[in-house]
Structure 1
């Protein structure tokens, strides 16, 4: 069953036609990935789904409800959260304050505490640094904090935008292991990632985006073995 469907959306930045009538779906419980080169429209697609941008035409449905053009905070309240590219932690606040902000729409104190324990189990380094100012964390730790903050809203669907960007290879592996763990715990994932090999290796379903168009789709394995994908994105 599809948790999210995007139907024929067109998105513009002024006169620039950034997304050209794309359609995609995200199956409940799985990992769907969107790969493509810089400027292909991957982040624009995520911003449109999460309500940060409005499509000119087309429809976005989340768990059977039309969310096209809904304000971003309302979409978060419905169970969809985004981990932005570049992490965007609140640099002058502590780790703990950042995590608290992730739960700002919630009032279920006991459950919030349970989720906080779960975040610290997934990211032990955040527990060690809970009183540290977020801007002083390393890039990898900030990525973990951005993911932890998104988990605090208890999303049923998490959008991840370039989680491995700028990280050392060992940390990239750790972040992908955690994405898999988040998914195994029951959260559906839509992943945008330039590290195509890593993204396709964990994805159930995958799409290739080129200059605002979807040019290929299939299972992660199919695209990993595709000659066109290997030539364009895997250095094959």
Structure 2
């Protein structure tokens, strides 16, 4: 459904992505893991049109989306839950959610989806009139995911959704991601919590210094000694 072919992206003279090939099949959860600075967030920005690749192509349902503006990519069915949540602090929870549907015209459908988000996140319903900036970190992450859901995406990209959250909240967020996938949304998950990501993923890619260095079914990647040593707290075999 979503495919990167030999993508190269740069920040000035610094090459951040070096020939990345990655595929996200319809209906699956694909996870991308790697250390800080590996190029994971750059991959997300390139998919969303925030960065234009210097080489390669990004295909969504077989058609190139390189050169499209981010709002056009969102309208087409790909939505990003950004790193750091980036909710609007001085707008209410409800207004933040409604903003997620700003390109939609189906008022009845928007109202229906708003109800679904509140059903999924009762805490947001309770706080719907509060400013986004008054929410806890976990609640803000729920709001960021809910806002993305309001766009009715076919593919949801999540960039470090568990960052800075308490363990109990992290588990809630990963449960939500699984539920969103079960409801039919394809997921690409960038996550430093490799253990959790590999537990819920169908397929996994490992990125180092702008390159994909390993890929395979998530459980196979999780059992790889190098991955265990680098990301899962295991010991590398001698």
Return 5+ residue gaps in structure 2 as ranges: none
Q: CA deviation at 1:47?
A: 0.6
> What number of residue pairs does the alignment pair up?
234
Give, in angstroms, the shift of residue 69 of structure 1: 2.2
What secondary structure, in the 3-state scheme, does the structure 1 residue paired with 2:142 have? Answer: helix
Contact 1:30 1:183 survives alignment (8 Å)? yes
Report the CA distance between 1:230 and its aligned residue: 0.0
Q: Deviations over 1:10-43 (max 9, x none)?
A: 0000010000011010010010000000000000
- Aligned twin of 1:181: 179
Q: Which residue of 2 aligns with 1:141?
A: 139
Q: Which residue of 2 aligns with 1:92?
A: 90
Superposition RMSD on alpha carbons, in Å?
A: 0.5
Range with bigger deviation, 118-127 or 187-196:
118-127
Name the CA distance, whole Å, in 2 between partners of 1:121 and 1:220. Answer: 30
Task: Give the 4+ runs in structure 1 shifted more than 6 A.
Answer: none
Query: Which position in structure 2 is the counterpart of 1:104?
Result: 102
Please report how far the alpha carbon of residue 68 of structure 1 lies from its aligned counterpart in structure 2 after TM superposition: 1.0
Partner Cα distance (1:28, 1:46) in 2: 17
- State TM-score, norm by structure 1: 0.98
Partner of residue 170, structure 1: 168
SS at match of 2:102: coil
TM-score (norm 2): 0.98
**CA distance in structure 2 between the partners assigned to 1:5 and 1:192 by the alignment:** 15
The equivalent residue for 1:24 is: 22
Question: CA–CA distance in 2 between the matches of 1:203 and 1:77?
Answer: 26
SS of aligned partner of 1:113: helix
Structure 1: segments with no counterpart, 5+ residues: none
Aligned to 1:213: 211
Alignment deviations for residues 158-186 of structure 1 (CA, whole Å, 9 cap, x no partner):
00000000000000000000000000010
Equivalence map 1:27-66=2 (5 Å): 27-66=25-64
> Is this contact kept in 2: 1:155–1:187, CA < 8 A?
yes
Following the alignment from structure 1 to structure 2, what is the Cα–Cα distance between the partners of residues 89 and 125? 16
